[in-house]
Amino acid sequence: LRSSIPSRFIPVPEPLDSPPLPTHASFTPLTESLAHSVPFETDADVSVTPVANATRSIHEHPAFNQELSPDARSLLKALRTAHDNESRLQAELASSVDEFAAYRSKADAGREALLAELSRLRNAELTKPKLNVVAVQKGIEDLRRDCQELMTLANAQQSSFHEAMSTFVDRVLAAVPSVDLERIRVERDDAVRARLVAEEALRNESNLRRMLHNEIMQLKGSVRVVCRIRPVSDNERDARLTAVVHGDVQSPTILTLTNPRTGAQSQHDYDVVLGAHTSAESVFSPARDLVVSALDGYCVAIFAYGPTGSGKTFTMAGTPEIPGVNFRALKVLFDLMKMREETHRYQVHLSVIELYNRHVYDLLADPQHVERVKLSVGRDESGVVEVKGAMEVAVESWAAMEQGLWRGMQSRSQNSTAVNERSSRSHCIVRVRISGHCIATGRSYRSRINLVDLAGSENMERSGLSGTRLTESKHINQSLSALGGVFHALSTNRAHIPFRDDKLTYILSDALGGEGKTLVYVCLNPCVTHLAETLNSLQFASRIRTIRQSAKPNTQPRPMSASVS
């Protein structure tokens, strides 16, 4: 059969493992290229294919109806199958062509729409600046209108504000007096409460301080003894005089006395022992507490005792370059008053007198214009001992006090003796009267400081005195003896104290008695030639050191509103 059929009518069978027939997608490139090259003829006969022609030729062949071999039949069956597949693929291709045509139509319509939109946008860009100018002009007009409205509102509010401020100022000015009065009242009440609290605290502090200070002073003793050993002078050193009195460097209260014959030493105990090279400030230091006591209302006496030439005047008065106890004590007095000026009020009066030949004279009186008058001593209406007729100068500053001190001491009676070329022949007493008032407590204080430079006790035979000088020495020794008698009576607690035996003790009675405090500087000459006077002075110091009376302040309670007289 194969040999009888022409070769052009017999299709070549595909191998069993050949790839599958092309799908609809395989025709896409072809259809696309055809779509872009020539239009499709939808009415053309697409069913006539080479496979169909071959099949038709086989059926039309004269030998077709003849009996076929099995191989031929198999091939024929494969050919029929290929024909069926081709028909199906042709149908799918036709459907794809129709679908592509629809897509192309949509694409053309979209392109036209895009071109129309592009044209519209180009026309819109040309009109945009004009629209912007119009919008800006409209915005400017709106802003101008808003600004005008705001200016009108601001002017109205400013006018209203001025009216309100004017009314407020009038009300404030009307309320100021009442507000000030209320504020003043509140401040006054606060100040009164604060003052009461401060006054109470001040009273407590003042009472505690005074109590502690006075307890310390009582423990130390109302009468304290300070031994001062003066340095050996140049003349004594040239004469090779031996010093027999020494202070103990290890103990400031021990004095050592050496027997010039045997060399034996004895020790004596006092409140303070000041060596030959002690500074003037250290000499004054024991007296500082008594100045504080004077401001608290206690009568105070500080005096120097000792034989002629032992350094009493230098201890009390000193020199302009090295001020003594008098100047240092009163300088401290004014310093303390300055510290207390916010809580206390003080008045200070100064008088300077001397006892010469048992008579009292005023050293502040001008000897060129005032005749030297003998003054009397007595008690005033309040029982305080006063020197009647003595000048009392109100002193308000330390400078005025210093000037008055030098003026008084320069008028003191002095003469030379065989022992001292410039010996004080009188007892010089600097009297400072203090009137104080504590503002917080309402308590007034009245006290006095007595600074005494006693005349030197002398051995009549060694001094080489006669006539007037001998009389002076007798009166000096009598006064010192009376002073020793008063201390002896105090040390033995006698009921009667002989203050009136001498004007010296009478003037100092307020300070030497139970309501006062006393400090005695016992001045000593260290040389062996003055051993007898040194022993007498040490006996005097030991006797008065046994006095331990209890001092009381001289106070006068007054209402808070009372003034200091």
To the question of whether residue 313 is assigned a binding role by annotation, the answer is: yes
Which position has the token pair 């499709």? 40
**Residue 364 · residue 405 · CB < 8 Å:** no
**Cα distance between residue 177 and residue 284, in whole Å:** 59
User: Looking at the DSSP assignment, which residues form a beta bridge with residue 427?
Assistant: 355
To the question of whether residue 312 is assigned a binding role by annotation, the answer is: yes
How distant is the alpha carbon of residue 324 from its chain centre?
39
To the question of whether residue 307 is assigned a binding role by annotation, the answer is: yes
**Cα distance between residue 379 and residue 191, in whole Å:** 44
What are the structure tokens assigned to 330, written together?
């009163």
To the question of whether residue 456 is assigned a binding role by annotation, the answer is: no
Torsional sign, CA 9, 55, 31, 22? negative
Q: CA nearest 407: which of 294, 291, 326? A: 326
Residues across the chain: 565
**Residue 335 · residue 292 · CB < 8 Å:** no
Q: CA nearest 547: which of 521, 514, 500, 523? A: 514
Contacts (Cβ under 8 Å, ≥6 apart) of 532:
459
**Cα distance between residue 325 and residue 302, in whole Å:** 9
**Cα distance between residue 456 and residue 307, in whole Å:** 5
**Cα distance between residue 90 and residue 94, in whole Å:** 6
Eight-class DSSP state of 498 = -
Q: CA nearest 508: which of 299, 217, 288? A: 299
What are the structure tokens assigned to 395, written together?
């002193």
Q: CA nearest 78: which of 14, 21, 18? A: 14
Q: CA nearest 307: which of 73, 61, 14, 527? A: 527
Eight-class DSSP state of 286 = G
How are the residues of the chain apportioned to helix, strand and coil, as percentages rounded to the nearest 5? 50, 20, 30
Which position has the token pair 């404030």? 172
To the question of whether residue 308 is assigned a binding role by annotation, the answer is: yes
What are the structure tokens assigned to 380, written together?
């005033």
Helices within 61-69 (DSSP H only):
none
**Cα distance between residue 328 and residue 330, in whole Å:** 6
To the question of whether residue 297 is assigned a binding role by annotation, the answer is: no
Helix/strand/coil for 224: strand
Which position has the token pair 């009392």? 392
Helix axis angle for 70-220 and 50-60, nearest 10°, is 150
Feature table: binding site for ATP: 306-313
Feature table: binding site: 306-313
